[in-house]
Amino acid sequence: MQTQILAFIVWGTLALAVVGTYFFFLLSTRQPLEGEDYYRAVGKLRKPLLIAMLIVLSLTFGFTIGSLPYATSRDLPDRVIYVGVKQFSFLLSSQPLVSEVQMDTLGGELIEIPANSRVEFRVRSFDVNHGFGIFAPSGELVAQTQAMPGYVNRLIVTLPKEGTYSVLCLEYCGIAHHGMRASFNVFSPVTGSTQ
């Protein structure tokens, strides 16, 4: 069964349960209870409602815990690429970038990544917010994240297609924004070529 259909069925069931509970209480309160009778009636409903809520929350937790976006030991990246961003340039490096001075002193390193390997891009800005968009050789957007000053965003992707990937800034950051470009190559580990 498709995930969307299953989600719709679960949502519909929960919606019917909420509406049914509402009407149950609406119909059960037509004749007002006085004094002790009221408190006894309310007390009888508390325990079943608490148990029902705990069951629903436990089931929801159980079905969704596996979908959390956190890496496990089997999801650790094969390679880490450090990305420094400032107006109006990107620097992709295999060395950690901790200061803006490194962007001026480190040369443009040719980054080559084996196809189908998990790569983590650690993206940080040294001035203003920028966008970090990875485009496949065919021109389609593969992944994106923000480059923010004082913060490192981690973007983990698997790049299946061989060729030259482009990196473009996706957030207007100044007059030379259109010239912010970088690239890296994804090669076949078998043939060693980028086609």
Q: Is residue 24 part of a domain?
A: yes
Rounded percentage of the chain residues whose pLDDT exceeds 70: 84
In the predicted model, what is the mean pLDDT of residues 116-122?
91
- Residue pointed to by tokens 């940080």: 124
Q: Is residue 194 part of a domain?
A: no
pLDDT of residue 35: 67
In the predicted model, what is the mean pLDDT of residues 29-51?
73
> Are residues 163 and 120 located together in one domain of the fold?
yes
Which residue, 116, 117, 119, 97, is CA-closest to 106? Answer: 97
> Are residues 49 and 90 located together in one domain of the fold?
no
| pTM given for the model | 0.61
In the predicted model, what is the mean pLDDT of residues 64-69?
72
> Are residues 58 and 102 located together in one domain of the fold?
no
pLDDT above 80: residue 194 = no
Rounded percentage of the chain residues whose pLDDT exceeds 90: 23
CA-derived radius of gyration, the chain? 27
Which of 42, 67, 92 finishes a domain?
67
Q: Is residue 127 part of a domain?
A: yes
Q: Is residue 192 part of a domain?
A: no
> Are residues 9 and 84 located together in one domain of the fold?
no
Which of 16, 49, 67 finishes a domain?
67
pLDDT of residue 78: 87
For the domain that residue 92 is a member of, what is the CATH number?
2.60.40.420
> Are residues 172 and 85 located together in one domain of the fold?
yes
> Are 180 and 173 in contact, with CB atoms under 8 Å apart?
yes
> Are 110 and 185 in contact, with CB atoms under 8 Å apart?
yes
Q: Is residue 89 part of a domain?
A: yes
Which of 67, 88, 118 finishes a domain?
67
pLDDT above 70: residue 143 = yes
- Residue pointed to by tokens 């496990």: 72
> Are residues 45 and 116 located together in one domain of the fold?
no
> Are residues 77 and 93 located together in one domain of the fold?
yes
**Rounded Cα gap, residues 82 and 109, in angstroms:** 11
**Rounded Cα gap, residues 87 and 127, in angstroms:** 7
Neighbours of 74 (CB within 10 A): 6
Domain around 53: 3-67
Q: Is residue 166 part of a domain?
A: yes
**pLDDT single digits (tens) 159-182:** 888 999 999 999 888 888 888 898
71-80, 141-150, 165-174: the lowest-pLDDT one = 71-80
> Are residues 54 and 82 located together in one domain of the fold?
no
